[in-house]
Amino acid sequence: MEYREFGRLGRVSALALGGGGIGGVWGSTDRAEAAATVHAALDAGVTMLDLAPSYGEGAEAERVVGDVLRERPAPDVLITSKVQLPGDQDGDVAGRIRGSLRDSLDRLGRGHLDLLLLHTHLRPDDALPPKPWTTGWRTYRQQIVPEFERLRDEGLIRAWGITAVVHPDTVFAAMRDTPRPDAAQVIVNAMDLDGGNAAFHGTPPSNDRIRREANADDVAVIGIRAVAAGALTSGLDRAVPADDPVGADFVRAEPFRKLAAGLGETPAALAHRYALSVLGVATVVLGVKNRTELAECLAAEDRGPLTAEEMAAVAALR
């Protein structure tokens, strides 16, 4: 396993285990297999677990990881979780952040988080109508950032960050601001698909620009949606509604699957090798839900980065 620099948190494994898969977001799994997948990831040298209260019914991913870490303490493994603040103009924002963090720490059995991420998308205050799963700039700057800084000063978190997708101008403003995030989750995939994150219709894809801006501002980049919510795999392993954008992305990605076959790779393996090959990405989050999927990703990482010719062939598909 390769290890890369991750800002104030030191070094991190090139692959991080995400909570979406083990929480059942990306297809069905069960508690035993989810726990076995966490064990296998730790055995393979994964040093970051990327979780959220929304990953699985009853915060299943956090509960699974908490059970595993009580069984085999791993104090050097970095634990990331998140706080969602939709409807951010109402109520006690600082109190909601602390309450979410407290509940996550209780489930995980830890006294602090290594990284706390805002799990809603930043939007300009004049973006109308406000979209679900978004947080306005004023609330972010005046309430969320100061609370994140207080939590770090108190030792309840070691670092904080944002979900840097959807509305690039607001994301750029956050990364250029002071204090700025320590880390940002950025969509990084072979066809620049949004993976179901198009909250602002008509906003052009800017994921590469966001990644470059984060690098320029010394904000550590966590690559997400490497397989674009399943669109860059051999087949969607969960039912999606007829109007789901991921279904349309899957159809659009047929040339990618043909390229993968020509290179002797599975689509998922090629997608992960691509994300791992992108400059400036500290770690790539895996959405795997079982040991079989994890093994495929570990093998892809072990084969190393794509060649310049292979990267060019992928880029030509966009």
- Per-residue pLDDT at 204: 55
In this prediction, residue 87 carries a pLDDT of 66
Which pLDDT belongs to residue 128?
65
Give the pLDDT confidence score for residue 174 in this predicted structure: 97
pLDDT in tens, the chain (318 residues): 999 999 999 999 999 999 999 999 988 899 999 999 999 999 999 999 999 999 999 999 999 999 999 999 999 999 999 999 976 666 799 999 999 999 999 999 999 999 999 999 998 888 766 677 889 999 999 999 999 999 999 999 999 999 998 888 899 999 999 999 999 999 999 999 887 776 454 555 589 999 999 999 999 999 999 999 999 999 988 888 877 888 889 999 999 999 999 999 999 999 999 999 999 999 999 999 999 999 999 999 999 999 999 999 999 998
pLDDT for the residue 119: 95
Which string of DSSP letters, residue by residue, matches the chain? --EEE-GGG-EEESEEEEHHHHTTTTS---HHHHHHHHHHHHHTT--EEE--TTSSTTSHHHHHHHHHHHHS--TTSEEEEEE--SSTTSS-HHHHHHHHHHHHHHHHT-S-BSEEEE-SEEE-TT-SSPPTTEEEHHHIIIIIHHHHHHHHHTTSBS-EEEE--S-HHHHHHHHHSSS--SEEEEE--TT---TT---STTPPP-HHHHHHHHHHTTPEEEEE-TTGGGTTSSS--S---TT-HHHHHHHHTHHHHHHHHHTT--HHHHHHHHHHHSTT--EEEE---SHHHHHHHHHHHHT-PPPHHHHHHHHTT-
Return the pLDDT at 65.
Answer: 98
Q: Which domains does the chain have, with CATH numbers?
A: 3-315 (3.20.20.100)
